[in-house]
Amino acid sequence: MSFGRVQSECWSQDTHKHLSDMILAFLGDGTDNVALSLAIGAAKVGIDMRIASPKALWPDQAFIDQFHAIAQSTGGKLTITETVKDAVKDADFIYTDVWLSMGEDEKSWGDRIKLLSPYQVTGAVMAATGNPFTKFMHCLPAFHNADTQVGADIKKRFGIDCMEVTEEVFESAASIVFAEAENRMHSIKAILVATMAG
C-alpha cells in the first residue's frame, strides 16, 4: 500500500496530516485479504482503522489480537462495526474490494450480494463522512457498472448495475483508484529490481 503521492494529493487542502492522524474505513467483507492487509499496515503506522462488515464476515479474534499487539507501540486503533455510518465518520479514505475473491465459488454471488449490499460505497456514504476531502480507494478490478463480462452477468442474474461501489463514486473526483494503481506499479517494479539484482 503506497500512500506517499496519494497522501499529498488528498491532503493538499486539509493541511499537514500525518499518517497517524489518518482515518481509514474499509467497507465490505471484513475477512477479505485486502481488509486484513490494510488493517495490519494501519496498525504498524498508527492509523485509526475501521471495518464495516456484517458480523458473519468479521475478522476472527486471533487477528484482532494480532492487530492490538502491533498497535501497542504505534497507537493504531481498530473498530469493527456493522454500522457504515459509524465506520465512515470523519474518514480520510474509504476503501472497498470485490465481494467475491478469486478462487471462491461463483455460486456464492447471490449470498454475497444480499449480505454486502448495505456496505456498498455510494455518494451518500461518501457524504456521511462529513469530510469534504475523503477519497475513495479500490485495488481493482471494480464492479462499478455492467461494462465487464462479470458485471453484465451479474446484472442479468440479479438485476443490479454495480456491486461494491457505484459508478457515481468510482468516476468522481474523490476516486483515486488509478493513482493508487500507479503507486502499486512502481512498488512492484522496485521489488522486481531488488529480486533480480540478487
CATH classification at residue 101: 3.40.50.1370
User: What's the CA gap between 149 and 155, in Å, rounded?
Assistant: 10
Confidence of residue 20 (pLDDT cuts 50, 70, 90): confident
Angle at 74 between CA 11 and CA 119, to 5 degrees: 60
Nearest to 94, CA basis, from 163, 167, 23, 189: 23
pTM, 2 dp = 0.88
Q: Which of the four pLDDT bands, split at 50, 70 and 90, describes residue 14?
A: low
Contacts of 8 (CB under 8 A, 6+ apart): none
Give the count of domains, the chain: 1
Q: For position 4, what pLDDT does the model report? A: 45
Domain of 111 in residue numbering reads as: 4-196
CA 61 and chain centroid, separation: 21
Whole-angstrom distance, CA of residue 7 vs CA of residue 19: 8
| Percentage of the chain exceeding pLDDT 90 | 81
